[in-house]
Structure 1
Amino acid sequence: MKLRITRVALWGLVLLCMAFIFYMSAKPAQQSSQVSGQFIRSVAAAVTPDFSALSEDEQDAVVESFQHVVRKGAHFSIYLLLGVLCLLAMLTHRVKPGVRIGISLGICLLYAASDELHQLFIDGRSGQVSDVLLDFCGSAAGVLLTAGLAALVCRHLRKRTSPVSS
């Protein structure tokens, strides 16, 4: 029963993460740029004491200079989370480790491709193969990080429960 609840909760988190990605991708280009711009302004104001003293044009230039890297970092990060969640959910199923990893990566790749396809229908947005690759790299990092940590935990638990030899 506990396993079933855990499985449902983890797959629910996967779907929640996918819904968040869909929600963010559904924003028109101008609105999406405003969201990332506000994030950059907040961070710049927190880490640069004199940011607020800059003219509005200078602040806009700072925001514009970081737009690309922040947006691509967001792609990588949210798909890293999706990869972590997919593999955690797959760990609740009795399949071989390689199959778990493959299914998790497949889910993330298909979702990344569908996300870029979705963006073709949003005002001012475009679907880019480079974003699918970036998203997949993020999810692969999440899957591999989770797989590595899971293997370490399993190894540690096996050592603790194995009989001590004299």
Structure 2
Amino acid sequence: MTHHERITIPGWLRRWGPALAIMALLFVSSSQPKIEQPGAETVYFSGAMPIFPGGWDFIVKKSGHMLAYGLLAALLCRALWRPGAGRSAGLGALAGTMLYAVSDELHQTLVRGRHASATDLGFDFVGAALAILLVWIVMRWRAPQPAGQRR
């Protein structure tokens, strides 16, 4: 291959690849066992999973849920987006994100020291909904307006 040749990536992979990559990363993360060390006063690792002392573990992990599932929702929205899709892309992305979140929680029941959590699903939903709202706002702002109309 010469330096002038381009590698072409199929359209479906450009659209769906980033969302599939996040799903794979979430699956690997959920596969990490959690082994508590009672009384630990510093960050320690249980496999590849960091465990934070005190209330920090809750704050960091739930923020991570919101960020990860928000990113997944935005990437699914991007994959589903077509001209005129608007709400249907957002609703499809939210549904797809939550289906994946439920499957992830069920998967965690098979991992040592992990369990399914409705609280995690709530944080996943909030992160996904906020991300889709942000995508919708940006797409409306960027959409061409008919002549003479204000935003």
Question: Alpha carbons of 1:6 and 1:148: their partners in 2 closer, same or farther (altered >3 Å)?
Answer: farther
- Specify the alignment match of 1:140 in structure 2: 129
> What is the TM-score with the length of structure 1 in the denominator?
0.70
- Specify the alignment match of 2:114 in structure 1: 125
Instruction: Give deviations 1:4-41, integer Å, cap 9, x for gaps.
Output: 9455313110000000000100000135586334xx6x
- Specify the alignment match of 1:14 in structure 2: 19
- Specify the alignment match of 2:4 in structure 1: none
Task: Report which structure shows greater RCO (CA 8 Å, sep ≥6).
Answer: 1
Q: Which has the higher helix share?
A: 1
> What is the TM-score with the length of structure 2 in the denominator?
0.77
Report if aligned partners of 1:79, 1:138 keep a CA contact under 8 Å in 2. yes
Q: Percent identity?
A: 27
**Stretch of structure 1 that moved more, 130-139 or 111-120:** 130-139
Report if aligned partners of 1:87, 1:100 keep a CA contact under 8 Å in 2. yes
RMSD: 2.4
Output the CA distance in 2 between the equivalents of 1:87 and 1:114.
19
Report if aligned partners of 1:120, 1:126 keep a CA contact under 8 Å in 2. yes
3-state DSSP of counterpart to 1:130: helix
Question: Alpha carbons of 1:75 and 1:13: their partners in 2 closer, same or farther (altered >3 Å)?
Answer: same
Q: What pairs up with 1:141-156 in 2 under 5 angstroms?
A: 141-154=130-143
Output the CA distance in 1 between the equivalents of 2:25 and 2:48.
17
| Structure 1 runs of 4+ with >6 Å offset | none
Question: Alpha carbons of 1:158 and 1:97: their partners in 2 closer, same or farther (altered >3 Å)?
Answer: same
Task: Report the alpha carbon displacement of residue 95 of structure 1 after superposing the two structures with TM.
Answer: 5.7
Q: What pairs up with 1:79-98 in 2 under 5 angstroms?
A: 79-91=69-81, 93=82, 96-98=85-87
Letter in 2 for 1:111: Y
Decide which structure has the larger Cα Rg and report it.
1
- Specify the alignment match of 1:23 in structure 2: 28
Q: 1:36 aligns with which of 41, 50, 53?
A: 50
Give unmatched runs, 5+ long, in structure 2: 1-8, 36-44
